[in-house]
A and B are shown apart, each in its own frame.
Chain A
Amino acid sequence: MKRLPLIFFAVSLFAQNEFAQSAAPRNPRTSPEDVAAGAKTFRSHCGPCHGLNAEGGRGPNLTSGIFYHGETDAALLNNISDGIAGTEMPGLFYSPDRVWQVVAYIRSLSSASGAKPSGDGARGQTVFQAKKCSQCHRIGGEGGRLGPDLSLIGSTRSLAHLRQALLDPNADVRQRYWVVGAVTKGGAEQSGFLMNEDTYSIQFLDMSEQLRSIQKADLAKIRIEKVSKMPSFKASLTERELEDLVAYLWSLRPKERAR
């Protein structure tokens, strides 16, 4: 009784190695039913770290189409089955068929394979300049630092999220962009964007892009507002300008990597 599982285990390991060495196997389980089954497995086994919708958490965002530990189907199968050494990613003890379904689900999330923007990216770049977005946002090292760096924003956000960020910036304000207002015991007022806070101190980037680190013991008052400093562009963009701008932001992503 004791030997049987060991033999089975050894055989399955051997089979996987053989499999991994064959020429670029493609995922055999890609039907809509497979995607749905993969989603179910994902939610219970992968969601705790990668987020319920795979948009990242303790583990990386898997909806961008970028997989740093190997992007072929075979690499995804191996990484999900065996885990990734040197990281917190564990393996799954499921059959390859079941893991293929998870691969199918993850593939279905990649923005590269999903919806395409309806606007014109080149025109969107003009809108970006005309609306002075670069006063606060940086792309490729050019622009301000107060807002998020947008150099790769297209690879990490969906079209809907980009649109929402322009029309309703307060809908999703990352903690890094919460606004700190501090008054020192001497009466000096400072404000900026929250970078870090612990029991004893607070760190922020002030409105003149200076890094500040202040001991709470030195402050008379401290307030943190969970709102965005970015204005809504709901009234100041036409529908076409909005779609063009979304198309431009969507195009900001890493160059195709050498294979």
Chain B
Amino acid sequence: MKSPAALAAFLLSLPLGAQVTFEQLRDAPQRNGSWLTYSGGYNGWRHSALDQITRANAGKLKVKWVHQMPTTHLVSATPLVVDGVMYVSEPPSNVVALDAETGAKYWRYARVLPPRINTCCGQVNRGVAVLGDRVYVGTVDAHLVSLDAKTGAVLWDVEVADYRTGYSITVAPLAVKDMIVCGISGGEYGIRGFLDAYDAKTGKRRWRHWTIPEPGQPGSESWSGDSWKTGGGPTWVTGSYDPVQDLIVWGTGNPSPDWNGDSRLGDNLYSDSAIALDANTGRRKWYFQFVPHDVHDWDAVQVPVLVDDEWQGRPRKLVYWAHRNGFYYVLDRETGKFLLGKPFATQTWAKGLDANGRPIRLPNIDPSPEGTYVWPGVQGATNWYSPSYSPKTKLFYLAVWENRSVYRKGEQEYSPGNRYIGSVPLIDLPDDPGYGAIRALNPKTGDKVWEYKLHTKPWAGVLSTGGQLVFGGSDEGYAFALDAENGKEVWRMNTGGVIRANPITYTSKGSQVVAIAAGSSIFTFELPK
């Protein structure tokens, strides 16, 4: 949006009874107990002030309703709730609208997909965006689709990229002003990554930000030969937005091929980076690369947590970021300057970080033909599942993996649409699979405040609430609530299916509800009435 007048004109152009305005997304994303955007707000906190469910009563939580999805694919979606209607994607690329009180279905958008889809790790979808009276979903055949929120009718459907060359969309789009910002997947297929913004009304593309520069652009010197053309750097997890600076902060994924960097000598900018873009133009204002020349598949695909707080005695705009590489970072949100870095899980690859946050690598940590043991493992010390920040406890919560992998190096040649990864690592050692945990960090120091240990490694994000609770889930199928101050378990329930999604909370008929996907279902929980 170029000017306030243009923004006003757009808002006026929305039909009466529009469900979600940009102002609501910006100022009060959880008004009326709704959950309007992927992380619950632009700041990426995945926190709700709702406080009916407390440490004292959470032990009584019970199932409210369950929505079973007609799918064999993994469900990783964050549901959105708007004025009593839940919008959630069903993998691969369908969307369903449910009565948030009962789980009864209003409508379903069922996408017809071509027979050959190549996604690295399952045909998943992490959720939808809402703006005005529309719902937006990205598809595994790399389209972005606008749906009528009342009927599910398709309003527009644009091709974001050619799926036959390895592109797909699994990310939940982000509605910013009058635009839909959408990332792309395909880091295991030698794509050239980008972040796009589309006119929410027409589907016309406003801008494209290539995450991998072409020759002549800044950063292009960090790619040898033509490797930039197939350099990866996807954008497959929803970023955050700073409305004051009009700044989109987003994470980029691994360079391609993943585990053999010989064809792409250099730092491989701007893979594995936090990038901050002017929302109007898509131009980069700053970046911070967590892992230069990554050969371990340590994407920076975490939700950036944007916090304004005191830093060393003066107010500062900050980004909190626990990265897949095992380090927790604090960055300056105005400049991208590195302020702090500290391991939050076992890591054996870096001696530490230098004054600029660049890792000081240890010897013999690169993948090798015979295999190299390194902590953290291929799936990282954390991954795409969301962290949470609570303004009440001022703690940073996240799901953590303590494990290692055997990183192997192999040959790889590029061919469009096929895997381009450079080897096959042993992701999990069968006899030494490691363990998981929910951890609370002091975000100012990176120090661990508490830990809730799990036998298996979790693939589910966390939600903090005004009731001083942290909700999460495990691969064992348990949904649980922890005391936000000390990590003590106050409630758990076996849902009977792996939980590989992020929780949300909303209110229905005045009562607080917690929802999370488990197995192929959405489970909702409430207190007895």
Segment at the interface with A among B17-25, B39-47, B112-120: B112-120
Determine whether the beta carbon of A91 is less than 8 Å from that of B118.
Answer: yes
Whose C-beta in chain A lies nearest to the C-beta of B118? A90
Given contacts A45-B419, A83-B115, is CB(A198)–CB(B164) below 8 Å? no
Is A92 on the interface with B (CB-CB < 8 A)?
Answer: yes
B118 CB contacts on chain A under 8 angstroms: 90-91, 93
- Give the distance in Å from the alpha carbon of A175 to the alpha carbon of B430 in the complex: 8
Is B410 on the interface with A (CB-CB < 8 A)?
Answer: yes
Determine whether the beta carbon of B455 is less than 8 Å from that of A198.
Answer: yes
Is A121 on the interface with B (CB-CB < 8 A)?
Answer: no
Whose C-beta in chain B lies nearest to the C-beta of A88? B122
Determine whether the beta carbon of B454 is less than 8 Å from that of A94.
Answer: no
Determine whether the beta carbon of B412 is less than 8 Å from that of A44.
Answer: yes
Is A140 on the interface with B (CB-CB < 8 A)?
Answer: no
Is A189 on the interface with B (CB-CB < 8 A)?
Answer: no
- Give the distance in Å from the alpha carbon of A88 to the alpha carbon of B164 in the complex: 18
Is A43 on the interface with B (CB-CB < 8 A)?
Answer: yes
- Give the distance in Å from the alpha carbon of A40 to the alpha carbon of B415 in the complex: 14
Determine whether the beta carbon of B424 is less than 8 Å from that of A48.
Answer: yes
Given contacts A44-B419, A48-B424, A52-B424, is CB(A93)–CB(B116) below 8 Å? yes
Is B411 on the interface with A (CB-CB < 8 A)?
Answer: yes
Determine whether the beta carbon of A199 is less than 8 Å from that of B476.
Answer: yes
B263 CB contacts on chain A under 8 angstroms: none
Is A238 on the interface with B (CB-CB < 8 A)?
Answer: no
- Give the distance in Å from the alpha carbon of A30 to the alpha carbon of B418 in the complex: 23
A167-184 toward B: CB 8 Å interface, digit per residue (1/0)?
A: 000000001000000000
Is B111 on the interface with A (CB-CB < 8 A)?
Answer: no
B165-193 toward A: CB 8 Å interface, digit per residue (1/0)?
A: 00000000000000000000000000000
Given contacts A86-B72, A93-B415, A226-B431, is CB(A44)–CB(B116) below 8 Å? no
- The smallest beta-carbon distance between B86 and chain A, in angstroms, is 27
Given contacts A44-B412, A44-B424, A48-B424, is CB(A91)–CB(B115) below 8 Å? yes
Is chain B's interface secondary structure helix, strand, loop, or mixed overall? loop
Determine whether the beta carbon of A199 is less than 8 Å from that of B453.
Answer: yes
A90 CB contacts on chain B under 8 angstroms: 116-119
A5 CB contacts on chain B under 8 angstroms: 162, 164
B109 CB contacts on chain A under 8 angstroms: none
Of residues B164, B412, B419, B421, which shows the largest number of chain A Cβ atoms within 10 Å of its Cβ?
A: B419
A200 CB contacts on chain B under 8 angstroms: 478, 492
Is B423 on the interface with A (CB-CB < 8 A)?
Answer: yes
- Give the distance in Å from the alpha carbon of A90 to the alpha carbon of B424 in the complex: 17
- Give the distance in Å from the alpha carbon of A81 to the alpha carbon of B115 in the complex: 10
B117-135 toward A: CB 8 Å interface, digit per residue (1/0)?
A: 1110010000000000000
Is chain A's interface secondary structure helix, strand, loop, or mixed overall? loop
Whose C-beta in chain B lies nearest to the C-beta of A48? B424
B453 CB contacts on chain A under 8 angstroms: 199
- Give the distance in Å from the alpha carbon of A87 to the alpha carbon of B122 in the complex: 10
Determine whether the beta carbon of A40 is less than 8 Å from that of B411.
Answer: yes
Is A197 on the interface with B (CB-CB < 8 A)?
Answer: yes
Determine whether the beta carbon of A94 is less than 8 Å from that of B431.
Answer: no
- Give the distance in Å from the alpha carbon of A27 to the alpha carbon of B456 in the complex: 44
Is A154 on the interface with B (CB-CB < 8 A)?
Answer: no
Whose C-beta in chain B lies nearest to the C-beta of A197? B455
- Give the distance in Å from the alpha carbon of A226 to the alpha carbon of B432 in the complex: 11
Is A9 on the interface with B (CB-CB < 8 A)?
Answer: yes
Is B496 on the interface with A (CB-CB < 8 A)?
Answer: no
- The smallest beta-carbon distance between A36 and chain B, in angstroms, is 13
B521 CB contacts on chain A under 8 angstroms: none
Given contacts A52-B424, A198-B455, is CB(A94)–CB(B115) below 8 Å? no
- The smallest beta-carbon distance between B414 and chain A, in angstroms, is 11
Is B416 on the interface with A (CB-CB < 8 A)?
Answer: yes
B374-414 toward A: CB 8 Å interface, digit per residue (1/0)?
A: 00000000000000000000000000000000000011100
A188-211 toward B: CB 8 Å interface, digit per residue (1/0)?
A: 000000000111100000000000
Of residues B73, B412, B422, B430, which shows the largest number of chain A Cβ atoms within 10 Å of its Cβ?
A: B430
B422 CB contacts on chain A under 8 angstroms: 44
Whose C-beta in chain A lies nearest to the C-beta of B74? A88
Determine whether the beta carbon of B424 is less than 8 Å from that of A94.
Answer: no
B73 CB contacts on chain A under 8 angstroms: 88
Whose C-beta in chain B lies nearest to the C-beta of A202? B455
- Give the distance in Å from the alpha carbon of A90 to the alpha carbon of B117 in the complex: 7
15 further interface pairs, Cβ-Cβ under 8 Å (given A93-B418, A199-B476) = A44-B411, A44-B412, A44-B423, A45-B419, A48-B424, A83-B115, A87-B72, A90-B117, A90-B119, A91-B116, A91-B117, A94-B418, A198-B456, A198-B476, A199-B456
Q: Footprint of B on A, CB under 8 Å?
A: 5, 9, 40, 43-45, 47-48, 52, 81-83, 85-88, 90-94, 175, 197-200, 226
Q: Footprint of A on B, CB under 8 Å?
A: 72-73, 115-119, 122, 162, 164, 410-412, 415-419, 421-424, 430-431, 453-456, 474, 476, 478, 492
Closest 9 CB pairs of A and B: A93-B417, A91-B116, A198-B476, A47-B424, A199-B455, A45-B419, A199-B454, A93-B418, A90-B118
A selection of 27 A-B contacts at a CB cut-off of 8 Å is A5-B164, A9-B164, A44-B410, A44-B419, A44-B422, A44-B423, A48-B424, A82-B115, A82-B116, A83-B115, A85-B115, A87-B72, A88-B122, A90-B117, A91-B117, A91-B118, A93-B116, A93-B415, A93-B416, A94-B415, A175-B430, A199-B453, A199-B455, A199-B474, A199-B476, A200-B492, A226-B431
